[in-house]
Amino acid sequence: MTDPVFTAIRDSVRDVLPDVDADRIRPDISLVELGANSLDRMDIVVDVMRRLGVKISSEELATVRDIGGLAELLRTKT
């Protein structure tokens, strides 16, 4: 079964960072490690929230360290 939250994150990363190989987008890697600067990271998060129809506060985002953490946080909102 496909995880819709991880799929939304992966698709957003690929849209914002098209040079990143899809195989590198894993729960244990951070957006910074994928080469995302602060604007890229914000674009990715905003796009994922739009795709999933959820909102996350900047305080909540401050606790996220990697893609897996972002996915867990998003799952609590869906």
Statement: residue 1 has pLDDT above 80: no
What is residue 32's predicted lDDT score, i.e. its pLDDT? 97
Domain ranges of the chain: 4-77
Whats the size of the chain, residue-wise?
A: 78
Instruction: Report CA 28 to chain centroid distance, whole Å.
Output: 12
CA distances from 12 to 22, 59, 76 (A): 11, 21, 19
Residues 54-77 have a mean pLDDT of 95
Torsion of CA 11, 21, 76, 42, to 10 degrees: -70
Query: pTM value?
Result: 0.91
What is residue 30's predicted lDDT score, i.e. its pLDDT? 97
Q: What is the CATH number of domain 4-77?
A: 1.10.1200.10
Q: What digits encode the pLDDT tens for the residues 14-59?
A: 999 999 999 999 999 999 999 999 999 999 999 999 999 999 999 9
